[in-house]
Amino acid sequence: MCHVIVTCRSMLWTLLSIVVAFAELIAFMSADWLIGKAKPSSSEEVDNRMGGQQEPYRPTLGIYGRCTRISHMQFSRRDTLCGPYAENFSEIASGFWQATAIFLAMGIMILCTVAFVSVFTMCVQSIMKKSIFNVCGLLQGIAGLFLILGLILYPAGWGCQKAISYCGPYASAYKLGDCSLGWAFYTAIGGTVLTFICAVFSAQAEIATSSDKVQEEIEEGKNLICLL
């Protein structure tokens, strides 16, 4: 018989696991890892003659994507174009970024799997006499290690030609040059920290769902068990 067991700690772990997976996935797909040096648009002279002022646009560069602005002389219209600069894996700008993509992708795949499984932990708490929470916590720890490796290798690729074209000639491995870090990089770091928090908190979720109070509720014949 399936017992639906919901506790504050197990529900918090489930929600946090889902948030972490989505945060890492969005960061990986974003082009806002590096914010390039300011580049005035080609229509700046037109704006100056018309008395308008335009802040220089700063293009962004991701692991495999980029965002840049295309200016049109007519009506001074500007379009921001975002998309992948690499059509395939081998065209990613740096070998270090290729390794980063591999490690981040592996970590994100594990996190997405755990997030999917965590939804069903309300009904199934163990498989083959092993706690799902403990298994998921172990997988989250492994995913966190993959994410750390990817984030450590990423700055080593700042010396590639693609990064130099965005960050200036002074950019090199672990040196940003004229670039600054975008929100995607910080999101990836925050998600990595939360991944290890989830791994640790999974043990608390397991304790909460196997407590004496839960066992008492099961013995009383209840199928839906909600505890604080």
Every domain of the chain and the residues it spans: 4-34+90-226
Report whether 17 contacts 144 (CB < 8 A).
Answer: no
Closest by CA position to 150, among listed 109, 204, 180? 109
Amino acid, res. 7: T
What does the pLDDT read at residue 221?
Answer: 62
Question: Which residue has 């791994």 as its token pair?
Answer: 199
Element housing 8 (H / E): helix 8-29
pTM of the model: 0.84
What does the pLDDT read at residue 57?
Answer: 76
Closest by CA position to 150, among listed 116, 107, 121? 107
Report whether 176 contacts 158 (CB < 8 A).
Answer: yes
Enter the tokens of residue 163. Answer: 């990064």
CB atoms within 10 A of CB 44: 16
What does the pLDDT read at residue 74?
Answer: 44
CATH topology of domain 4-34+90-226: Butyryl-CoA Dehydrogenase, subunit A; domain 3 (1.20.140)
Question: Which residue has 């491995």 as its token pair?
Answer: 173
Element housing 81 (H / E): strand 78-84
Q: What angle do CA 103, 189, 93 make, to 5 degrees?
A: 50
What does the pLDDT read at residue 45?
Answer: 44
Dist. CA 42–CA 52, nearest whole Å = 14
pLDDT tens string, the chain, 228 residues long: the values are 566 777 788 889 999 999 999 999 999 999 999 998 876 654 444 454 444 455 677 899 999 999 887 665 444 445 678 889 888 899 998 999 999 999 999 999 999 999 999 888 877 777 777 888 889 999 999 999 999 999 999 999 999 999 999 998 998 999 998 999 999 999 999 999 999 999 999 988 888 777 667 666 666 666 556 665
Specify the length of the chain in residues.
228
What does the pLDDT read at residue 122?
Answer: 76
